[in-house]
Amino acid sequence: MENNTNAQVSGMSPASNIGGRWTGWAPRVKSLLRIVASLMFMSVGAIKLFAFPVGIPPAGGAVPLLSLLGLAGVLEVFGGGLLLIGLFTRPIAFLLAGEMAVAYFMGHFPSGWWPGLNGGQPAILYCFIWLYFSAAGSGPWSVDARLKKK
């Protein structure tokens, strides 16, 4: 009860104190978003390149490396890997945002305008997540941040 009284006397409600603490975590949460999004992105590329954990239907294999989907797989696995560790985040994220825009307009948009119906939601989300990181940087838990400190 004493903490609530002290917070009220100082002009801060307990809720605003929690919000202030959570806001302080924003840079670390940005790093977590980058890491989790990169892992998910790499998993899609691993399916294309390595047929892992499953292959591309209908045959269940990997895509030809020298194909449009092969290039996409390379970008997803290796670009995603660089984003995972937070190295060259801004240019790599910009490149991958472009890849996802192309993926949407070439692979999904021809099936219709609505992303919920044409299966393009992941491409749009990744496009804008990577666009965000191209502008905002990698966050504190990254190789980029380590190199900047030196």
Over the stretch 87-98, which tens digit does the pLDDT of each residue have? 999 999 999 999
Pairwise CA distance, residues 49 & 104, whole Å: 20
Over the stretch 10-56, which tens digit does the pLDDT of each residue have? 555 665 677 778 899 999 999 999 999 999 999 999 999 999 999 99
pLDDT of residue 3: 52
Structure tokens at 71: 């290039």
Beta strands in 38-130 (DSSP E): none
